[in-house]
Amino acid sequence: MRWNLKPKPDPDKVESLCNSLEVEPVIAALLIQRGIETFEQAKEFFRPQLSDLHDPMLMKDMDRAVARIERAVAEGENILIYGDYDVDGTTSVALMSSYLRTYYPHVSTYIPDRYEEGYGVSFMGIDFAADNDFSLIIALDCGIKAIDKVEYASRKGIDFIICDHHRPGDVLPAAVAVLDPKRLDCNYPYKELCGCGVGFKLVQALANNKDQTIEDLLLYLDLVVTAIGADIVPITGENRVLAYYGLKVINSNPRPGFKAIVKQLKKKSLNITDVVFIIAPRINAAGRMKHGNHAVSLLIETVQAKADEFAKDIEEFNTERRDTDKLITEEALKQIRENKEEERLTTVVYNENWHKGVIGIVASRLTETYYRPTLVFTKSGEKLAASARSVRGFDVYNALEGCADHIEQFGGHMYAAGLTLKEENYPAFKDSFERVVSDTIDPLLLTPELRIDARIDLAEINPRFYRILKQFAPFGPGNQNPVFMSENVMDTGAGKCVGSDKSHLRLVVRQGSSRPLTGIGFGLGDKESVACGGKPFKIAYSLDENEWQGIVNLQLRIKDIKE
């Protein structure tokens, strides 16, 4: 890893914030790095308020969306809630359908089949709507590029409302309303909502017309925080407020589906990391291994016993998913080695038998191994489908745009995308992608970067310091858990490799006369000679708590060690 120590903020700003908040300089510096320079900004950051949420009517086309839904309700139309099969899509569908059903019965849900229909709005889904007398489709977490699909629906007498957060193309679909804060003509103050977040703003607008307050909608925020975490959107601004209160709901009054998942764990309180790595993969597993409908059924179920049964099924899907992605990752790594492609600046692999539901996870694993823009392809009907993942600082979506001549369809974000192409175009695409990336990527980006917030002494770490740090949560993009660096650290002699394969490193360190602190470095077993050789070293770490036999202690979560 290359360590990148962030520049120190302006000393005058640090001193001013120290005085107004009565905190240590390092805390003030961390806040200023996050754009927080005044007492009022700090108050908003540390104490998120529901009143900080923006008026949903500021979003372009929101008035049209609300009017069309209210007309559908007044005239007794059938409404179909349509969403993608991933976490953001299924939580969006659960949110919108659950809310509308509180006062209107003619609401159904539709999740496309990953294998028969693929991502986003499908002709098959529109045919289903037409055959079953649905005259309004509300599409969530998809649809922003479904120009031909919306036109097809219109010919069948079906209106569309689109709630999306992906980048629009040059032309928008001719829907009744297109809600997407990333529209160039949308002046909504916060641009980084996930699909479920956009859906929640529509629910908020509908609720306002029914004289409901934001407090009446709190029970839906467990869905929103799960989508925020899973979709890796910035946890800043409005997302921070939604995530903060969503975690409160998950920890105090979760819906039966979440309760069914959480009660199998032995954790008293879940944070955003738990949502991302415990709840989200299980919801995702349904769409990956079977069908996203299983996830929606879990999320909208109101009877706990039934939710427990759904959760049991989903746990089996998740176990199958883990086994499958492990096998495919091993096969992909073998393919790279056998083709002697380790020196390329991109990773592009293909096997027609790989499970389409896990190629995104495999792409992430390969990116962790070789740290370069990665695509994993498999056969999908008559075409090839791929999931793309990128490295920090490189826009894989733009790179795919540079290869558009070889692609049938693509969409996504800076760091994750999906595409389809004809099988005969695969070799040309692979060469084109390598060429585009080679011409545009900064070589520095091909080495993992560890961004360090501040250099501190171990003596500065105490319970009060950690109590304040915990209030920086929820962590995520735009507000990562602070990483610190300490130099001239020595192991006390208790350092050793741990774990069944001895791949982790447990240290007890001190710096000068500081009190000893325990640290754990997962996957850092190969650093034992540096840390336990009797010489000073430097460490990069974050802080967390370790609970053992009912006793909670502060510990260092070591990220890297250098001589």
CATH number of the domain within which 87 lies: 3.90.1640.30
Per-residue pLDDT, 394? 96
- Please, are residues 177 and 68 in contact by the beta-carbon 8 Å criterion? yes
Task: Summarize the confidence of residues 489-493 as an average pLDDT.
Answer: 93
Total number of domains constituting the chain: 3
325 found inside a domain: no
The predicted pLDDT at position 73 comes to 98
Q: How confident is the model at residue 266 (pLDDT cuts 50, 70, 90)?
A: low
Phi-psi region of 350 (alpha: psi -120 to 50; beta: other; left: phi over 0): beta
Question: What per-residue confidence (pLDDT) applies to 498?
Answer: 95
26 lies in the same domain as 165: no
Helix, strand, coil percent content, the chain, rounded in steps of 5:
45, 20, 35
Looking at the predicted structure, is the pLDDT value of residue 241 above 90? yes
349 and 263 together in one domain: no
Q: Is 120:143 a contact under the CB 8 Å cutoff? A: yes
pLDDT digits (tens, 9 = 90+) for 506-562: 999 999 988 999 999 999 999 999 999 889 999 999 999 887 777 778 999 999 999
- Amino acid, single-letter form, for residue 308: D
pTM, rounded to two decimals: 0.90
Structural tokens at position 328: 């495919």
- Identify the domain boundary among 402, 426, 446: 446
Query: Do 259 and 309 reside in the same domain of the chain?
Result: yes
State the average pLDDT for the chain.
94
In this predicted structure, which of 178-192, 279-293, 341-355 has the lowest mean pLDDT?
279-293
Q: Is the confidence at residue 267, as pLDDT, over 90?
A: no
Average pLDDT over residues 113-121: 84
Residues 298 and 201 in one domain: yes
In whole angstroms, how far apart are CA 14 and each of 11, 17, 520, 556?
5, 5, 31, 25
Please write the tens of the pLDDT for every residue from 217-234. 999 999 999 999 998 899
- The amino acid that residue 442 corresponds to is D
Please determine, for residue 265, whether its predicted confidence score (pLDDT) is greater than 80: no
Within a domain: residue 500? yes
Q: Which two tokens stand for residue 451?
A: 């961004």
CATH number at residue 517: 2.40.50.460
Separation between Cα atoms, residue 525 and residue 502, nearest integer Å: 6
Percent of the chain with pLDDT over 70: 100
Annotate 276-338 with DSSP letters as a single string: IIIIHHHHHHHHHHS-THHHHHHHH---HHHHHHHHHHHHHHHHHHHHHHHHHHHHHHHHHHH
Residues 395 and 364 both lie in one domain:
yes
My answer on whether 242 and 364 are in the same domain is no
- Tell me, yes or no, whether 196 lies in a domain: yes
pLDDT in tens, 123-141: 999 999 999 999 999 999 9
Q: What is the structure's pLDDT at 424?
A: 96
Asked whether residue 318 is assigned to any structural domain, the reply reads: no
Percent of the chain clearing pLDDT 90 (strictly above): 83
Judge if 83 and 215 occupy the same domain: yes
Which amino acid does the sequence have at 85? Answer: Y
> Do residues 152 and 11 both lie within one domain?
no
Orientation angle between helical segments 293-300 and 280-289, nearest 10 degrees: 140
Q: Do 240 and 374 sit in the same domain of this protein? A: no
How many helices, marked H, and strands, marked E, lie in the chain? 20, 19
For residue 70, give the amino acid letter: E
Q: Give pLDDT, residue 26.
A: 96
Which two tokens mark 469?
Answer: 């740090």
Whether the CB-CB separation of 223 and 95 falls below 8 Å is answered with yes
Name which residue leads in pLDDT, 166 or 81: 81
Question: Which residues face 273 on adjacent strands?
Answer: none
Q: 176 lies in which domain range?
A: 56-313
Asked if residue 321 belongs to a domain, the reply is no
How does DSSP assign 470-535, residue by residue?
HTTPSPBTTBPPP-EEEEEEEE-S--EEESTTS-EEEEEEE-TTPPPEEEEETT-GGGHHHHSSSS
Tokens of 511: 């710096």
Is 323 part of a structural domain of the chain? no
Residue that finishes a domain, picked among 402, 419, 446 = 446
Between residues 269 and 279, the one the model is more confident about: 279
DSSP 48: -
> Are 112 and 235 members of one domain?
yes
Contacts of 269 (CB under 8 A, 6+ apart): 251
Q: Is residue 507 part of a domain?
A: yes
| pLDDT of 9 higher than 90 | yes
At residue 456, the pLDDT reads: 96
Which residue, of 385, 413, 446, is where some domain finishes? 446
CB distance 298 to 87 below 8 Å? no
Take residue 555 and report the two structure tokens written for it: 């510990």
Nearest by Cα to 264 from 326, 325, 319: 319
**Structural tokens at position 145:** 């590029």
**Cα(484)–Cα(455) distance, rounded to whole angstroms?**
6
Could you tell me the pLDDT band of residue 253, with boundaries at 50, 70 and 90? Answer: very high
Q: Any idea what the CATH number is for the domain that residue 394 is in? A: 3.10.310.30
Cβ 142 vs Cβ 89: under 8 Å: yes
539 token code pair: 């460490």
Tens-digit pLDDT profile for residues 378-414: 998 889 999 999 999 999 999 999 999 999 988 877 8
Q: Is the separation of the CB atoms in 347 and 368 below 8 Å? A: no
Q: Where are the alpha helices (DSSP H) in 3-133?
A: 11-21, 25-33, 39-46, 62-74, 87-100, 123-131
pLDDT at 409: 87
Helix axes 293-300, 304-338, angle to 10 degrees: 150
Q: What is the pLDDT of residues 149-166, one digit of tens each?
A: 999 999 999 999 999 999
Hey, what are 25's tokens?
Answer: 């300089």
Q: What is the rounded distance in angstroms from the CA atom of residue 523 to the CA atom of residue 526?
A: 8
Residues 539 and 459 reside in one and the same domain: yes
Identify whether residues 41 and 131 lie together within a single domain: no
Band (341; pLDDT cuts 50, 70, 90): confident
Q: Is the pLDDT of residue 113 over 90?
A: no
pLDDT at position 189: 97
320 belongs to a structural domain: no
- What confidence tier does 292 reach under pLDDT thresholds 50, 70, 90? confident
Q: What is the pLDDT of residue 435?
A: 96
First to last CA, the chain: 13
